Amino acid sequence: MTTQRSLRSFLGLAIALLLAANTGIAQQQGGGQTPAPAGGGTPGGSSIPTPTTPSIPNTPSIPGRPTSPTIGQPQEQRFPEMQRPIFLSGKVMMDDGSAVPDNVVIERVCNGVAKPEGYANSKGHFSFQLGSNMQVFSDASVSSAADSGFGGNRGGGMPSTPGNRTFSERDLMGCEIRATLAGYRSEAVLLTGRRFMDNPDVGVIILHRMGNVEGDTISLTTALAPKDAKKAYEKGREAMKKNKLADAQKELQKAVELYPKYSIAWYNLGLVKDQQKDAAGARSAFLEAMAADPKYVNPYLPLAQIAAQEKKWQEVADTTGRLIKLNAFDFPHAYFLNSVANLNLQKLDDAEKSAREALKYDTKNRNPKLHHVLGVILAQKQKFPEAATEMKSYLQFAPNASDVEFVKKQLADIERITGTQETAGKSQ
C-alpha cells in the first residue's frame, strides 16, 4: 500500500512536470546546431525554451601536432597569436542546379560545435566577418541545430550590431564552414590555417539532397510567385533582418495578398507575428503556409510550439507527427515535443518511442531534458530501474539546470519505490 501511495504521488509530480514542460526546459541549446531563434528555441519567439547545453571542455591537443616550437622554427610562425578580424565570402549551390532558397544558413563548426554566421542571399552568395555575433533571424528548418532543436537556437533572433570579434590561426584549428538546410547535406570548407590576409573567397559550397526525405525547406510555390509579390516578399525579409517588424508585416502581408499561395511568405509573416506576441495571427499564418504547400516543412515546428505553450497536446502530437513523416532527420525537437505531448495524453508507448528517437539523433546530449522526460515516461510504465538511470543522466548532463532539486526529489522517490519493491520481494 505504501508503494502504491508513493507511486501515485510521484506520478502526480510527473504529470505536473510535463504539463509545465514549456517553462521547465531552460534555454536553447547553445553551441549546437540551430542559430539562436527568436525568443529562445524556436523561430519567431513562440518557443518552448530548450535545454541548457553542458559546457564544452577544452579541446584536447591534436595527436601528431607538436605543441612546442620546432627547432629553428619559432612557435609564432606555426601558430600566429596576432588577433585580427577575418572576412569570408563564397557561394552556395544546389547539386541539381536549382535556385538556392533564402533560408540557407552559413555555420562555423569548430570541433563539433556549430555557430551561425549569416545567410546566403537569393543568388547563393554570402559574405560576413567571422564571429561577428550577428544573430540571424532563425528558421525552424535550421536544426543544426546550433544550436537547434531543440530548437535552434535556434537570442532575440534579429541582427544585433556586429561585434569586433578577432581570430588567430590557432583559434581556427579544427574549424570549418558549411551551409545548413533541412533535407540537404553540405560540403565543408576547412578554416584550419586561415589567416586574416588570405583571400576571403572560400569558393563554392555544394548542398546535396538527402534520400528518404519527403518534405522540403524549399516551397514549390515560390517559383510561381508574380514579380510584384516577390518584390514585396524581399522587402519584408530585409525589414525582418533589420528588426523593423511593422514594415516587415506590411510587406509580407502585401506579398500574400498578391499571391495567396506564397507559402514561404506566409511562413515569414507567421514569424513576424510571433515576434509581435500575436500567437493567433502567427498560428493563422503558419496554417496558411501549410495549406499552400503541405510539403514545405518550415511552418510545422513553430506551429507545434505555439500549441505546446497553450497545452493543446493533441495538436502538438498531430503537427509534430506530420513533420516527422515529412522529414525525420533534421527536426529532433519534433520528436521531443511529440514525446511530451503523448506523455500528457497518456499514450506512453508513443511517448517512449519518440523520446528514444530524439535521443538517437541527439548523440552529443545537447538536449539533456530528453533524459528527464524519458525517465518520467519509464516511471509511469513502472520501469523504475531504467527511469532512475535516465534521471541520473539528466542530472549528469545538466547539473546547473533550474529544476535539479525537483529532479533529485523525483529520483529519490523512484529509488525509494524500487527499494520497497526489492524488500517486499525478498520477504516473500
Across 140-271, where does the E strand assignment appear? 175-180, 184-186, 188-190, 201-209
Give the length of the chain.
Answer: 428
Average pLDDT in the chain: 74
Q: What is the pLDDT of residues 26-58, one digit of tens each?
A: 333 333 333 333 333 333 333 333 333 222 233
More confident of the two residues 164 and 367: 367
**What pLDDT, in 10s, does the model give residues 86-136?**
889 999 998 888 888 777 889 887 765 678 888 888 788 998 888 775 444
Q: Which helix (H) or strand (E) holds 265?
A: helix 263-275
Mind listing the pLDDT tens digit for each residue in 222-281?
888 999 999 999 999 899 988 899 999 999 999 999 999 999 999 999 999 999 999 999
Confidence band for 307, pLDDT divided at 50, 70 and 90 = very high
Rounded CA separation 269/285 (Å): 6
- Cell numbers for 153: 537556437
Whose cell is 612546442? That residue is 68
DSSP strands (E only) in 53-131: 87-94, 105-110, 113-119, 125-129
CA 336/CA 21 separation, integer angstroms: 11
Q: Reduced to 3 states, what is the DSSP secondary structure of residue 165? A: coil
pLDDT of residue 265: 95
Q: Across 192-201, 225-234, 323-332, 418-427, which has the greatest mean pLDDT? A: 225-234
pLDDT recorded at residue 185 = 79
Please say whether the beta carbons of 148 and 333 come within 8 A: yes
Distance CA 124, CA 207 (A): 11
Is pLDDT of 148 > 70?
Answer: no
Phi, psi dihedrals of residue 44, rounded to the nearest 5°: 80, -5
Phi, psi of 74, deg, nearest 5 = -60, 150
Residue 212 confidence (pLDDT): 60
User: Which whole-number Å values give the CA distances from 384 to 16, 246, 322, 355, in the listed order?
Assistant: 19, 52, 32, 17
Kindly state the cell numbers that stand for 117. Answer: 554566421
Could you tell me the three cell numbers for 299? 511552418
Say yes or no to pLDDT of 13 above 50. Answer: no
pLDDT computed for residue 204 by the predictor: 92
Between 103 and 79, the more confident residue is 103
pLDDT at 350: 97
Q: How far apart are CA 371 and CA 385, in angstroms?
A: 14
What backbone phi and psi angles, to 5 degrees, belong to 205?
-105, 125
Largest CA distance in the chain: 80
Return the bridge partners of 209, or none: 184
Percent of the chain with pLDDT over 70: 68
Instruction: List the one residue out of 236, 240, 291, 239 whose CA is nearest residue 265.
Output: 236
In this prediction the pTM is 0.61
3-state helix, strand, coil in the chain (%, to 5): 45, 15, 40
| Dihedral angle over CA of 228, 229, 233, 239, nearest 10 | 50
- Binned at pLDDT 50, 70 and 90, residue 371 comes out as very high
Which DSSP letter does residue 167 get? Answer: B
Neighbours of 228 (CB within 10 A): 12
**Is residue 78 pLDDT above 90, yes or no?**
no
Share of the chain above pLDDT 90, in %: 40
